[in-house]
Structure 1
Amino acid sequence: MEEEKTWALVSEVGGENGYLEEAAEILKQHFQIISYRELLENPVLHGSKIQVLFMWKYYPAAEPWLLRLLPSLKVVASGGVGIDHLDVPFINSLGVKVVNTPGVVSDSTADLAMGLLLASARKIIEGYQIAMDPRTIHLPCRLMGVEVTGSTLGIIGLGDIGYRIAQRSKGFEMKILYHNRTRRSVDDEQAVGASYCDSLDGLLRSSDFVVVAVKLTSDTTGLIGHRELSLMKSTATLVNISRGKVLDQDALVEALKSGTIRAAALDVTHPEPLPRDHPLLSLPNVLITPHIGISTYNTATRIVEKMVENALAAVKGLPVPNEVKMQ
Structure 2
Amino acid sequence: MAKVVCVLYDDPIDGYPKSYARDGLPKIERYPGGQTLPTPKAIDFVPGALLGSVSGELGLRQYLESRGHTLVVTSDKDGPDSVLERELVDADVIISQPFWPAYLTAERIAKAKKLKLALTAGIGSDHVDLQAAIERGITVAEVTYCNSISVAEHVVMMILGLVRNYIPSYQWVIKGGWNIADCVARSYDVEGMHVGTVAAGRIGLAVLRRLKPFDMHLHYYDRHRLPETVEKELNLTWHPTVEDMVKVCDVVTINCPLHPETEHLFDEKMLAGMKRGAYIVNTARGKICDRDAIVRALESGHLAGYAGDVWFPQPAPQDHPWRTMPHHGMTPHISGTSLSAQARYAAGTREILECFFEGRPIRDEYLIVDGGQLAGTGAHSYSAGNATGGSEEAAKFRKRA
TM-score, normalising length: structure 2: 0.71
Moved more, 19-28 or 117-126: 19-28
Match of 2:284 among 242, 252, 259: 242
Higher relative contact order (CA 8 A, sep 6+): 2
- 1:268 offset after TM fit, Å? 1.4
Distance between the aligned counterparts of 1:209 and 1:6, measured in 2?
48
Distance between the aligned counterparts of 1:141 and 1:290, measured in 2?
29
- 1:239 offset after TM fit, Å? 1.0
In structure 2, the partner of 1:53 is 94
- 1:171 offset after TM fit, Å? 1.9
Task: Give the direction of change, closer, same or farther, for the CA distance of 1:94–1:206 in structure 2 (3 Å limit).
Answer: closer
Task: Tell me whether 1:34 sits opposite 2:72 in the alignment.
Answer: yes
Moved more, 17-26 or 120-129: 17-26
In structure 1, the partner of 2:396 is none
Moved more, 67-76 or 311-320: 67-76
Task: Give the direction of change, closer, same or farther, for the CA distance of 1:92–1:222 in structure 2 (3 Å limit).
Answer: closer
Q: Counterpart of 1:9 in structure 2: which amino acid?
A: V
- 1:68 offset after TM fit, Å? 6.5
Distance between the aligned counterparts of 2:171 and 2:154, measured in 1?
20
Q: Counterpart of 1:184 in structure 2: which amino acid?
A: L
1:221-252 deviation digits (Å, cap 9, x = unpaired): 11111222122222211111111111112211
Distance between the aligned counterparts of 2:148 and 2:351, measured in 1?
18
Distance between the aligned counterparts of 1:284 and 1:186, measured in 2?
40
Distance between the aligned counterparts of 2:197 and 2:138, measured in 1?
35
In structure 2, the partner of 1:98 is 140
Distance between the aligned counterparts of 2:107 and 2:260, measured in 1?
25
Contact 2:308 2:331 in 1 (8 A): yes
Task: Tell me whether 1:141 sits opposite 2:185 in the alignment.
Answer: no
TM-score, normalising length: structure 1: 0.85
- 1:184 offset after TM fit, Å? 0.9
In structure 1, the partner of 2:354 is 312
- 1:201 offset after TM fit, Å? 2.5
In structure 1, the partner of 2:394 is none
In structure 2, the partner of 1:201 is 243
1:25-80 deviation digits (Å, cap 9, x = unpaired): 6313421223358x969x79x976x5432223455443567656765543221122
Q: Which runs of 5+ in 2 are unaligned?
A: 14-50, 66-70, 77-81, 380-401
Q: Helix, strand or coil for the counterpart of 1:294?
A: coil
Contact 1:256 1:285 in 2 (8 A): yes
Q: Helix, strand or coil for the counterpart of 1:30?
A: helix
Counterparts of 1:180-195 in structure 2, within 5 Å, are: 180-195=222-237
In structure 2, the partner of 1:324 is 368
In structure 1, the partner of 2:36 is none
Counterparts of 1:1-327 in structure 2, within 5 Å, are: 7-11=3-7, 15=11, 19-20=52-53, 23-24=56-57, 26-32=59-65, 33-36=71-74, 51-57=92-98, 58-62=100-104, 72-134=114-176, 136=177, 138-144=178-184, 145-321=187-363, 322-325=366-369, 326=374, 327=379
Q: Counterpart of 1:158 in structure 2: which amino acid?
A: A
Task: Give the direction of change, closer, same or farther, for the CA distance of 1:278–1:317 in structure 2 (3 Å limit).
Answer: closer
Distance between the aligned counterparts of 1:13 and 1:255, measured in 2?
32
Distance between the aligned counterparts of 1:285 and 1:113, measured in 2?
16
The number of residues matched between the two structures is: 317
Seq. identity, %: 23
Contact 2:191 2:214 in 1 (8 A): yes
In structure 1, the partner of 2:21 is none
Runs of 4+ in 1 over 6 A off after TM superposition: none
Contact 1:110 1:162 in 2 (8 A): yes
Q: Which runs of 5+ in 1 are unaligned?
A: none
Task: Give the direction of change, closer, same or farther, for the CA distance of 1:198–1:24 in structure 2 (3 Å limit).
Answer: same
Superposed CA RMSD:
2.9
Moved more, 62-71 or 169-178: 62-71
Contact 2:96 2:119 in 1 (8 A): yes
1:282-315 deviation digits (Å, cap 9, x = unpaired): 3331111111121201101111111111121122
